Amino acid sequence: MYSVDIFDSPWPVPYDVAVKALALPVSRVSVQAGFPSPADDFMVERLDIMKLLVKHPQATYFWRVRGDSMVGANIHDGSILAIDRAIKPKHMHVVVAVVDGECTCKYLHQRAGRVKLQAANPTYPDIVPKDSQTIEVWGVARGCITLFAT
User: Hey, which residues are catalytic here?
Assistant: 69, 106
> Is residue 29 helix, strand or coil?
coil
Question: Phi first, then psi: what are they for 4, rounded to 5°?
Answer: -130, 125
Please report the beta strands in the chain, taking only residues with DSSP state E, as ranges in sequence order: 3-5, 15-16, 23-27, 44-48, 60-66, 80-84, 94-99, 102-111, 114-118, 135-145
The residue length of the chain stands at 150
Cβ atoms of 119 and 2 within 8 Å: the answer is yes
Closest by CA position to 18, among listed 69, 60, 81: 60
How far apart (Å, rounded) are the C-alpha atoms in residues 91 and 107?
8
